[in-house]
Structure 1
């Protein structure tokens, strides 16, 4: 890729409104890193099925991302795509589907995410088989791991490599495993693999339900990471979408201030959210960044940006600018 070609295009053409905000936020992201800061990226929605890994993996490899908070769906869907990409089906006319069309997709074990159908047998069950081995082994040994740690173990073991159907350099989870990147997965129970785990606990294959560590433990782990990291670096917060992936980790600062009585801990040093959520009464995902000042998450002088647009378009462009492409 020609050095700076995308960045130069964006700077020349993206001059106003959300386009200008994109450029401003990307340049501030780069400045934050150049000044010694680190960055947490949060992934909501179906960013992994949108194949954000193509650019996010390179961000991880080049140390432009230092921690991730994501939904259980984004955690698993990156690996679904890794092992079953050839079996996915894209439906360009998804807005025109009838209820009967949707039923036919179900009968073919194709689960639709907007224009993309995830194949149950090739993706979900293939990963489930590898996960169940790890869950049962940990259960027998009396060991406990976080959801992302189980996936790291599978990636590092090479169990899935024979199933790879994309270049693993385009998998953000593979890149994260190589870096041993800190990951937080709030609400993992609300995911396909979380549902699988519950089923295997119910049928007795896993005796200790706590073999997979919990969301409260994730918050405690995040607090320890924030304490240690913020002592050396300003920590930025780059939020893709809304929901629990962003709401959960940003609360670590007021938790440390108010519940741990540590007012000396610095707030987040950069904030940007890509969202198409409407700013309206009571909407947290649509709330402007300044509202977070009142909750002790951001300071009045924290660089703050909101880009009201489609994250599947905006995030790769911002990553390109941060990478200097």
Structure 2
């Protein structure tokens, strides 16, 4: 205590002027960006985020998320020629080395937003291995190829918009005519899919409805249906188009929960008594098998709920993911899956105890473009193997 405070009552001195323990040498000092320096002018995204790492709060978790994504995408294992035949599974890079199987999940509102173009970039350039989305995340991508979504306002009157045939998604507006165009586009495809299904069953008998190893058969699953829609849309602005072209599976266990579900429902009346069937069990076997066969597994989760848990549960089948980045605004006090931090998933075996994981509490439309710009799209070589451990 300084001499200036020697006459303070002992209780007051102990309460207010308590001495600090020695500061550990490994603590990092809080620091920010000095915009008076030339290098801070019009910074690259990677340099900006690197400068934000010591700011604290979500700026620091954003920096940590970028580090994890870089390690996730940079890890390399053995060359395929070094592996036993039964170990030649999982993901491999263009040079034949094992790489992380990256599962990315996103909710439908993010496809409705301009984040769609960021997601399309990742799929177009084969930077992710598998996708999990909601039905809206599939159909809104396809609908945008037929008609645009517009900026609106969060405060627009719902009853007025209803009278105008305008649907609001936050501060976005989707004319109801867009869904009419979607119906006109998808119904002939559903007709053709049903015809192919019926012809295949007639040719191969009802036994073909058992566990079917013919991956190209019209015994439809949600992922097969989505792949077909990506092929049919034939539009390079579409995430689903590039998923089809690059053979990246898109899983959607809630395929009926949206306009696609409406179209399937309407189609049951049109095609009655015949009916298009989707085998959801085959898809759960497929995504879980992908996880089990992966050399390392990474999760990038944008949003929460079904897409978050479906990927996490698949990673449970391999005793947890090796990397995990969550981005959402959910809080954990209500016990929701969206709000749960990575540590909760560790308790379930969905993320490994020693995994590199982080949750960024933020709107994904704000931070994910920054993450992609600083990692996948930074134009720099991948990290060296010793830097990914």
* TM-score of the alignment, normalized to the shorter chain, above 0.5: yes
CA contact (8 A) 2:319 2:352 kept: no
- Measured in 2, the distance between the counterparts of 1:55 and 1:89 equals 18
Aligned to 1:261: none
Could you say what secondary structure the match of 1:280 adopts?
helix
Matched, 1:146 2:146: no
Aligned to 1:188: 255
C-alpha displacement of 1:29: 1.0
C-alpha displacement of 1:208: 4.2
CA contact (8 A) 1:219 1:249 kept: no
C-alpha displacement of 1:151: 4.3
**What is the alpha-carbon root mean square deviation over aligned residues?**
2.2
Cα gap change, 1:319 to 1:112, in 2 (>3 Å): same
Matched, 1:47 2:114: no
Cα gap change, 1:76 to 1:243, in 2 (>3 Å): same
Aligned to 1:127: 182
Unaligned runs of 5+ in 1: 162-167, 257-264
Q: Which of the pair has more CA radius of gyration?
A: 2
Matched, 1:287 2:340: yes
**Corresponding residue pairs, total:** 293
Matches within 5 A, 1:40-189: 40-85=103-148, 88-92=149-153, 94-95=154-155, 97=156, 101-121=157-177, 123-142=178-197, 143-157=218-232, 168-169=236-237, 171-189=238-256
Question: CA-to-partner distance for each residue in 1:21-54, whole Å, 9 max, x for gaps?
Answer: 1121112111122112121100125010112121
Of 261, 271, 279 in structure 1, the residue corresponding to residue 324 of structure 2 is: 271
Question: CA-to-partner distance for each residue in 1:256-294, whole Å, 9 max, x for gaps?
Answer: 4xxxxxxxx352111111010112142221111111122
TM-score by length of 2: 0.70
C-alpha displacement of 1:207: 4.2
Question: CA-to-partner distance for each residue in 1:65-123, whole Å, 9 max, x for gaps?
Answer: 111100001111112222211xx33223x22x3xxx322322332111011111222x2
Deviating above 4 A after TM superposition, structure 1's stretches of 4 or more consecutive aligned residues are: none
- Measured in 2, the distance between the counterparts of 1:81 and 1:107 equals 23
Unaligned runs of 5+ in 2: 1-42, 76-98, 198-217, 379-389
TM-score by length of 1: 0.83
- Measured in 2, the distance between the counterparts of 1:152 and 1:5 equals 36
Cα gap change, 1:324 to 1:187, in 2 (>3 Å): closer
- Measured in 2, the distance between the counterparts of 1:156 and 1:116 equals 27
C-alpha displacement of 1:148: 4.7
Structure with more contact order per residue of length (Cα contacts < 8 Å, sep ≥ 6) = 1
- Measured in 2, the distance between the counterparts of 1:89 and 1:227 equals 41
CA contact (8 A) 1:134 1:150 kept: no
C-alpha displacement of 1:206: 5.4
- Measured in 2, the distance between the counterparts of 1:156 and 1:252 equals 26
- Measured in 2, the distance between the counterparts of 1:151 and 1:183 equals 7
- Measured in 2, the distance between the counterparts of 1:18 and 1:175 equals 32
- Measured in 2, the distance between the counterparts of 1:110 and 1:151 equals 26
Could you say what secondary structure the match of 1:12 adopts?
helix
Matched, 1:198 2:251: no
Aligned to 1:23: 63
- Measured in 1, the distance between the counterparts of 2:272 and 2:285 equals 25
Cα gap change, 1:82 to 1:138, in 2 (>3 Å): closer
